[in-house]
Structure 1
């Protein structure tokens, strides 16, 4: 290894390069006598390469098309030939990049200057275009040449002198080596950046997936909570309607019983009413249990824990208290009615059979007493029926309030229990 190459390698390896840069392989050593001639089609690169072989016998001049023969080596100089017909194009600039990837010494040559008088304008335009393409080409020297003119000798002196001077300079080899290192390190940096970019994209994709999963989870949780709340509201409406219907039906049945009550069954009516109230409460509670069990099964949850036995509402007895003043008034009215009946019967008997006046008086007295007793009894029974009917209205109101409160409390407790199960299931599914 020559001294310039060793100095360049020492400069690079002595720097603090870690990570991906430290893993970059060193570039191949440049060949100090190898000259590569490249250029687009019809630019005269082949003729220029042949002419340079004659003028530079100490160098190996190759053309880009036969570069495969020297694969693995780096030229000391790249001569880029372009025609004086027209300025460079973007594809020509990319061709320079490929040919001089590991070489710092690049010489631009405008060929066929013997037939194109405006070659100097083309050369100036090429210099500007190539410098605009990449800053590294701002210091590229440009010369005109004619490798195989139609008349006269080849015009190569300026190009040959430039190549001989630059190839003899030891700094050229060092700069080429540094250019090779720059390319390798830039490739390592680009690979690291691509890896980091790919990692960031994967992380961003994971974040997006996680956010989408969280949104889906929150949406599912919200939908389940809405479904649970909606079903509970529907169950509450149905159960409240059932409770009202049961209460109304019981009130109608007991009112019919109270309308036909007799003195013998009057005292047992309150106990019968309390039994019916207990039966209605038990039926509503059983309906609540069935409704909540079906709701939990529809949502895939366990049935809520059973509630305690329902407590019947306090029902005071019917106010069938003593009615002394009213009874006295009724007896007075009954006595008057009975006296009138007795006088009527007595006069009727006396008029029909004057000899049976005494018997008519006795019969009228008995009929009057019987009428008085019947009137007093009927009036008391009708009063008791009216009292019981009003009492049944109070019982129905108390029962309706109790069963509606029972339904609301049971549904609220079920909502708490089922919501807890739902939250626990969601946590276990995460």
Structure 2
């Protein structure tokens, strides 16, 4: 039972949060009449004016009209430093000269050839070499890559059950926040708890021999929480023991090391999935790994697994992805970008410590998330327990300062982001926290 004084304190805090959010929404709307009008127009032809749920925020979403380098401009002419990086797909910024040139080269040689062509060979070689894959196949998105990897695992093992983890996101039909969504693909899913070594061990004791696959992000991308070495090593060991295919979803995390995050960790899964930046900012996905599984897709073999997709080897993505992976995001560029992200994350945490703010960062390298709680979250369950209104207040405060990141506090640094941009973000965060000291500072 709460003490009466504690209840009054909670009520005061709740009222302060509600007032701050209402004020932030009003200030946002007052400066953006064009975006507000466009939101209304969009609602006449799309449900809620939206065709990508994650981009929605209240009171209405920003409507961008252009991007250059690391700067976005909205329909009202307001400019923002882009720390979202298109949820890690926009690693190259908005106007990289080499990307533009590769697009022009693809246009000059013809789009959608409807046939095998030269660039897909070179790109496949580059992807296999970079990420230590025996064989690879291309898709159009990370969602498709994960679906195909799961299909391969089920065919290879002759089993149907899949172990995933609460809070995980492996694509629009493989989303397990809150335990799953009504539009998920109808797989036989067993949900474990991310980073729970003892609980996962017990779960595998019960059903390990029934599993076709274990699918996991080695760093939980939604909240940028690294999987512990003990947790990920357990999955590798027990998957081998049960003859289960271990799939690392590296759609986002492959940017965290020159050969991907799994190589950085020293843990080799059976299959890896990719997407986002690997295609140079174009629509892209891929899955690959050990030959014994991937060879099942060889169309020269009797009973080969089918894998269709009109745009799997589209000439635009193949050419741009090859240039981006081999000429722009080199191993050295990867190391430099992740070092910048590590410096930013540590700087922000030091700032929150100095201010006594109830905020903390999680992440690794160029992927960072700010959570409105301290200490930092360690699991998806903990992330779900924060007051979502606090995230909205911080998001809107940073938008007003001219910085764009995900509503949930997620950031993915692009190669266009500079140390000066990082310093400016830290200054904006300090001003935002001090402006709302009654809700962010003890």
TM class by shorter chain equals under 0.3
Select the structure of larger CA radius of gyration: 1
User: Greater RCO between the two (CA within 8 Å, min separation 6)?
Assistant: 2
Higher helix share: 1
TM-score of the aligned structures, taking structure 1 as reference length: 0.19
